[in-house]
């Protein structure tokens, strides 16, 4: 038991030296949504979240996060098709392709894509 504790401590120290541990000040607080915000996020994720990574930093269940990200992925895909057909892009800081890439990365991080 003492050896396991010593190994765990040594691993912690090594990670700390490499800068792999997040400082408490650097870690954003978990966002909690009301029931109404959750319903809104499932219908229009972009109206509740600024970026897909923000969905992962919530206290929502794995299923709710996945549902929101998949909806956002469908919306971003539709926006990409619309712009490829000549429709003007929505007023957004990210292109539909960049947004879609960020959503897919968030899904992979969550273990869903």
- Residues 39-94: tens digit of each pLDDT: 999 999 999 999 999 999 999 999 999 999 999 999 999 988 887 777 766 677 77
Pick from 56, 24, 27, 26: nearest CA to 41: 56
- What mean pLDDT comes out for the span 93-112? 87
Structural contact between residues 70 and 77, judged by C-beta atoms closer than 8 angstroms: no
- Residue 84: its pLDDT value, please? 77
* Length of the chain measured in residues: 113
Q: What pTM was estimated for this model as a whole?
A: 0.69
Q: What's the pLDDT band for 25 if we cut at 50, 70, 90?
A: low
């Amino acid at each position: 038991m003492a050896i396991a504790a010593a190994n765990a401590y040594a691993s912690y120290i090594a990670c700390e030296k490499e800068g792999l541990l997040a400082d408490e000040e650097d870690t954003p607080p978990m966002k909690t949504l009301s029931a109404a915000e959750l319903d809104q996020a499932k219908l229009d994720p972009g109206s509740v979240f600024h970026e897909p990574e923000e969905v992962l930093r919530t206290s929502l269940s794995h299923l709710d996060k996945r549902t929101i990200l998949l909806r956002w992925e469908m919306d971003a895909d539709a926006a990409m098709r619309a712009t490829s057909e000549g429709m003007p892009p929505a007023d957004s800081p990210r292109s539909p392709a960049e947004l879609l890439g960020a959503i897919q990365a968030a899904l992979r991080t969550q273990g869903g894509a």
